[in-house]
Copies of this chain bind each other. A is one copy, B any other.
Amino acid sequence: MEGYEEKLKFLEQLVEEKRFTELKNYLMNMMPADIAEFIDEMSPSEALIVYRLLPKSEAVDVFPLIDMERQKEITSLISEDELKSIIDELYFDDMIDLVGEVPANIVKKILKNSTQKQRTLINQFLKYPEDSAGSLMTIEFVDLHKKMTAQEAMKRIRETGLDKETIYTCYIMAEHRELEGILSLKNLVLAKEDETIENIMTDDYISVNTHDDQEYIAEIFKKYDLLSLPVVDNERRLVGIITIDDIVDVIEEETTEDFQLMAAIAPSDDEYMTMSAFMLAKKRIVWLVILMFSATISQLITDQHSFLTAQFTVLVGVMPMLMSTGGNAGAQSSTLVIRGLTLGDIKFGDLFKVIWKEVRVGIIIGITLGFLNFLRIMLFSRNVKLAIIVGLTLIGTTTMAALMGGILPIVAKKVKLDPAIMASPLITTITDATTLLIFFTIAAWIFLGA
């Protein structure tokens, strides 16, 4: 993708100078994903011009790769005939994504141009919950019968394969569409021509239900290295398939959600650049308010020890450093454990192993940091008492923070909360309060002997 930005600029120049024949020739040699990216970058009206320059066969490959926002804009600008030709050619899952997003008047246009059977199917698909298998699957798969021979199966694939999203896994269905087995195209190609499908298919396959969650489905794809996965209803009838390209998007989506939760932001699928400042503020403010009011505990603890801080103002100076170090140590632990839980490396049964590990890590880190700070304070201010207080506080605070960061995500998962909320912001608020408590207790003891 070297020189990529330059290429985009050059194409934009062609649009501006209305050199459309030249532009068309360039587009003919570009990959659909690159054309889609180019269309995403332009103004809606320019985007439409470029889109209309594409030959029909190319346009249909490009359309589902365009940003959903831009897809919506294009559908609102084009004629009903153009809309019909897009809808006819889209894979069913891409079409459903579009129908679920466009305004009611466009939906009406789409439904008007479809058959009764299609309408029923569209309505059924729109009802699947947003993050479910049903909302991810498509209906364009190769179906075979177990009594066919390999040769017959290949003939069927040749006749119908062009419109299928994948032909690399074929699905063998009984009457009433019950799924009986699957067969990879690899095994079909390698089989003898007169072998019956029954003998080469496998009934040892994995399937999911229409209502299974996309995160669970992504786990299955990763664990079993799948390219596609059949989706069945409660009667084990095959209703669709999910393909790996959509799962890669799911993985990214779920990761983004984790990042957002871990920064105390209400999760959202929308892209940062397309969200308004007001929308962004709304996503961020709820947790900030909760955390701010929770921090009142730290205020109470500090206020209760004002007799100490008034007398020994030097204590106030080290408060920020102690709190941030405790917070950082806790955030490290919780991040490692949250990620371990996501990847399946850490399970609930590992709780005590994690506790024991974090206690040791906390003590090792605490002693190191405590000692370094002891040296620093002795060197710069020669205040032995302060050096001892800070050193001891650091040992206590990092151990406690590591423990909290280790335990809380595991407990959260056990009570069916997303462990990702037990990340830096919440952990920091908790460690702030406990750090101050440890700090003032040790300070009172060393300074006042009480």
Contact = CB atoms under 8 A, between A and B. Distances in A.
Contact of A245 (B225, B320, B373): B225
A33 B161 contact: no
Interface string A261-289: 01111000001110001101100110111
Interface stretch (A101-109, A115-123, A173-181, A294-302): A294-302
A278 B364 contact: yes
A265 B154 CA distance: 53
A179 to B, nearest CB: 17
Interface stretch (A16-24, A81-89, A251-259): A251-259
A432 interface: yes
A222 interface: yes
Given A316-B306, A343-B256, A265 B335 contact: yes
Interface in A144-181: 154, 157-158, 161-162, 167-168
Contacts of A280: 336, 357, 361
Given A336-B263, A350-B273, A357-B277, A291 B248 contact: no
Contacts of A259: 335, 338-339
Interface in A286-329: 287-289, 291-293, 295-296, 298-300, 302-303, 306, 309-310, 313-314, 316-321, 323-325, 327-329
A346 interface: yes
Contacts of A433: 320
Given A33-B225, A263-B331, A331-B263, A190 B204 contact: no
A428 interface: yes
Interface residues of A, number: 113
Given A225-B33, A259-B339, A323-B320, A277 B190 contact: no
A284 to B, nearest CB: 5
A343 B248 CA distance: 12
A49 interface: no
Given A340-B273, A346-B273, A295 B316 contact: no
Given A346-B273, A368-B285, A425-B331, A302 B317 contact: yes
Contacts of A278: 364
B263 A320 contact: no
Given A272-B337, A284-B361, A346-B272, A295 B325 contact: yes
Contacts of A345: 271-273
A43 interface: no
B244 A277 contact: no
Query: How many copies altogether?
Result: 2
B321 A319 contact: no
Contact of A285 (B291, B295, B340, B365): B365
A127 interface: no
Contact of A190 (B161, B273, B293): B161
A126 interface: no
A159 B212 CA distance: 40
Given A222-B252, A263-B332, A278-B364, A273 B353 contact: yes
Given A161-B186, A292-B369, A357-B280, A436 B224 contact: no
Contacts of A296: 321, 376
A429 interface: yes
A134 B157 CA distance: 35
B299 A321 contact: yes
Those 7 A-B pairs whose CB atoms lie nearest each other, nearest first: A263-B335, A298-B320, A277-B360, A295-B321, A281-B364, A306-B313, A225-B245
28 contacts: A31-B204, A154-B189, A158-B189, A162-B190, A185-B189, A225-B245, A227-B227, A244-B244, A263-B424, A264-B331, A265-B336, A271-B345, A273-B346, A277-B357, A277-B361, A281-B361, A284-B332, A285-B365, A288-B329, A292-B321, A299-B321, A303-B314, A306-B314, A319-B319, A320-B436, A323-B323, A324-B428, A324-B432
Given A256-B339, A281-B360, A292-B373, 12 more contacts: A168-B185, A225-B248, A248-B251, A259-B338, A280-B357, A288-B325, A288-B365, A288-B369, A289-B369, A292-B321, A295-B324, A328-B428
